[in-house]
Amino acid sequence: MDRKFYDNEREIDLAEQKSLYKRSKQIVLARTVIFILIIVTLAAGYDGYPYCYETAAVFALIFARLVRFHERLRRRREFLKSRMSVQGSYISRAGGTWRNRSNDGSVYLKNERPQDIDLHVFGAGSIFQYICAARTKRGRDRLAEALSPTPPKNFFEVRQRQKGVAELLTRPRLSLDLEAYGRLMPDNHDTTELIEMIEEPPSTISPILHLRYLIFPIFLLTAALTYYKAIDNIIFVSAIPLISLTLAVIVLRKTSEMLKPLKIISNELRLYKEIFNRIEETEFNSACLSKIRETLTKEISASEELQRLSLLVDVVNTRRNPVFFILGNALFLLDFHCVIVFCELRRHAAIHLRQWIDAWSEMEVLLSLASIGQTRTTFCFPQLIDETTPQIETKKLSSLLIADKKAVTNDVKLTAGTTIITGSNMSGKTTWIRTLAGAVLLAYAGAPVCAESFKVSRLWIFTSIRVNDDISQGLSTFYAELLRNLAKKNCQC
């Protein structure tokens, strides 16, 4: 692990965070001053001073810009905090103090697959807990699927994933940024409901929604005619906004139902937009990462589409304010515009959203596998042998679950046959077996392993380390072992 790199990054982020905090205080002060000036100019306009209302409108625009800028600063500070948290996670794993990480993958333990427990694949102090960088449920499911004792049918996809992980190791800042954005999402964020809602055919658009283009021009026309004395009755002018607002209220339940999916994605949508934009602006060399980028840029840009959707979400959330709802619908029929725009964006997103989310979940897997190379001093990418003869050869292999300074390395060369490992109690026999089998499992996932070199062919991983007998159920150790072997056989089939 390049500890100096992460320490330097932390110092840079701390310096920027302090600068942003100082600027935020200045923005708060400026907002307070501008707000006072708005009140003063409005009061002066009420007293009859000329151009005060126009000046108040200018101050209101400045105030709105300051609010927006302050929000951008707040989001940047949140991102930097998340980024430093990722750096701390890398450092803790390198130092061996990573067992307090929240997600240990216990939900993926399977009774019919005893290797999960025997090899510490899932659960407290497990391989999954060490490497997992996935924040979404879809990403964690994909990572758990990759950590399988079953060998892949061929090594092509594994080799492609190895190249993608290797490239991420040459781009540590990209890995930091992507994982930091992901960490801002809710823990175990599940996008299934969102995808299903977006993919549902939208409701039929009522012809009344097409009135959105008529209300404001008619209002401007009648206002201009009234100003130039062509119309003497002011009631006629005020009736236009009232009619517009009445129409919006009549179809409010229908429009709210059509805009319902936007309530789910207000914060996550912005994060996905930042993630996709970061990936899209990066040119990759490996086929694995290039495929992810191509998925996000093919036909339409994922980040640009989500940017438009994000702006729409902001508008829809703002319409919950009664004042904004009344003014927006009285003058522009804003709800009608939101529904039409969302239906258009929904048609585009329905085609691509599932692919975009799947692309990010694969990136989460690659980030997780790359964490081994980012936190270990010695590692290599296994050489995957296509020969049918079972064989393993490794030099200076150590356990991923033991810190570098404490780990004892070993060499081994095994082929088809029986090997007996002997030694005194507590001499490390079981630890070494778990280390070797766990390294094979990581090799099949496309991850680096903690060794100077590692070669492995396609072979099945079977274990019989923890056998749980149960006297109350009449399960002897021998019978429990028979049940485990039966489970292995069924798994293999």
SS3 content of the chain, % helix, strand, coil (to 5): 65, 5, 30
Return the closest-CA partner of residue 122 out of 104, 110, 134, 100. Answer: 104
**Mean pLDDT, residues 292-318 taken together:** 87
In whole angstroms, give the CA distance from residue 101 to residue 90.
11
Q: Which residues contact 219 (CB under 8 A, 6 or more apart)?
A: 237, 240, 241, 244, 331
Q: Which residues pair with 456 in a beta bridge?
A: 384, 392
User: How many CA atoms lie less than 13 Å away from 407 in the CB half-sphere?
Assistant: 21
**Mean pLDDT, residues 112-117 taken together:** 87
- The fraction of the chain above a pLDDT of 90, given in percent, is 48
Range with the poorest average pLDDT among 122-136, 295-309, 331-345, 443-457: 331-345
In whole angstroms, give the CA distance from residue 133 to residue 143.
9
| Residues 331 and 242: beta-carbon distance below 8 Å | no
pLDDT of residue 448: 97
How far is residue 4 CA from its own chain's centroid? 27
467 vs 103 pLDDT, higher one: 103
**Mean pLDDT, residues 22-41 taken together:** 94
- The fraction of the chain above a pLDDT of 70, given in percent, is 86
pLDDT band at 204, cuts 50/70/90? low
pLDDT at residue 231 greater than cutoff 70: no
Q: Which residues contact 2 (CB under 8 A, 6 or more apart)?
A: 172
Q: Hey, which of 110-114, 130-134, 352-356 has the most confident mean pLDDT?
A: 130-134
pLDDT at residue 86 greater than cutoff 50: yes
pLDDT of residue 225: 65
pLDDT at residue 139 greater than cutoff 50: yes
Terminal-residue alpha carbon distance, the chain: 41
pLDDT of residue 211: 64
Q: Mean pLDDT over all residues of the chain?
A: 85
- H or E stretch covering 454: strand 453-457
pLDDT of residue 450: 95
pLDDT digits (tens, 9 = 90+) for 340-350: 888 877 777 77
pLDDT at residue 456 greater than cutoff 90: yes
pLDDT of residue 472: 42
H helix count then E strand count, the chain: 18, 4
Which tokens belong to 323?
A: 């004042």
pLDDT at residue 206 greater than cutoff 80: no
Please give the C-alpha separations between residue 360 and each of 197, 201, 329, 353, 375, in angstroms, as whole numbers.
19, 25, 38, 11, 22
Grouping H, G, I as helix, E, B as strand and the rest as coil, residue 449 is: strand
In whole angstroms, give the CA distance from residue 6 to residue 203.
51
DSSP string, 154-203: -SHHHHHHHHHHHHHHT-HHHHHHHHHHHHTSPTTB--HHHHHHHHSPPP
Q: How many residues does the chain have?
A: 493
**Mean pLDDT, residues 209-220 taken together:** 65
pLDDT at residue 262 greater than cutoff 90: no
| Residues 294 and 280: beta-carbon distance below 8 Å | no
pLDDT of residue 339: 85
Return the closest-CA partner of residue 409 out of 369, 376, 445. Answer: 376
